Amino acid sequence: MKEGVIDVLMYIFSSYADQDEHLPEDRDGICADLTAAGFESMEIDKAFEWLDGLAEADDSPGIAQSIESTRIFADQERVRLDNQAQGFLHFLEHSGVLTPQLREMVINRVMALDNETEVDIEELKWVVMMVLFNSAEDHDENTLMHFEDIVFADQSAIFH
């Protein structure tokens, strides 16, 4: 099986996210499960490094940003996030799903993926959900389920 880090991460998230808000810390068990599922050890190691980076990003203090500020994407970010992906992040932020700090964590985690190619919108949605579920911000289960509905909806959500 030739899969990338994002595929390993999506497998981990879809397999373990329902058990608890945070992924289990038993890496040996998760690693054995991933190996049994056919993932290569190099990709598994990279996925764990990515998750470690997510935890570190969550622990770092954020820079205060105004909700009215505009995020300008760097050239390297625009290579990875096309206009549709940038628009989707903007939508999530203005819908209240992402704070400016969480948006930056999403962008950071997209840039930390091991390839240099553009991240498609479905992969971006998975990264958003992984950041939200790992976030230290207080989200109850209903809020996370609502966010998941918005992120994975085929149509834009309507807010009143």
* Domain range enclosing 43: 5-152
Asked whether residue 38 is assigned to any structural domain, the reply reads yes
The SS3 call for residue 73 is coil
Strands (E), 31-130: none
Quote the tokens at residue 155. Answer: 């149509």
CA dihedral 31, 51, 77, 124 (to 10 degrees): 70
pLDDT score of 1: 43
Q: Is residue 66 part of a domain?
A: yes
73/70 Cα distance (integer angstroms):
10
Residue 84 lies in a domain: yes
Cα atoms found within 13 Å of the Cα of residue 12, Cβ hemisphere only: 33
Residue 78, in any domain of the structure: yes
Is 52 inside any structural domain?
yes
Query: What local confidence, expressed as pLDDT, does residue 160 receive?
Result: 37
* Residue with tokens 């990264």, as numbered in its chain: 127
Q: Each residue of 108-129: pLDDT tens digit? A: 999 998 777 889 898 999 999 8
Output the pLDDT for position 143: 75
pLDDT > 70? residue 64: no
Domain assignment present for residue 95? The answer is yes
Whether pLDDT at 32 is above 50: yes
Q: What is the pTM of this model?
A: 0.79
d(CA 56, CA 149): 27
Nearest to 131 by CA among 79, 53, 65, 68: 53
Number of domains in the chain: 1
Looking at residue 136, its pLDDT comes to: 56
Residue 43 Cα distances to 53, 129, 138, angstroms: 15, 20, 31
* Whole-number pLDDT of residue 159: 42
159 domain-assigned: no
Per-residue pLDDT of 69-106, as tens digits, reads 788 899 999 999 999 999 999 999 888 888 888 999 99
- Taken in order 55, 83, 148, 114, the sign of the CA dihedral is negative
Instruction: Evaluate if residue 39 carries a pLDDT over 90.
Output: yes
Q: Residue 160 domain-assigned?
A: no
Q: Is the model's pLDDT at 21 over the cut of 60?
A: no
For residue 135, the model assigns a pLDDT of 80
pLDDT at 65: 64
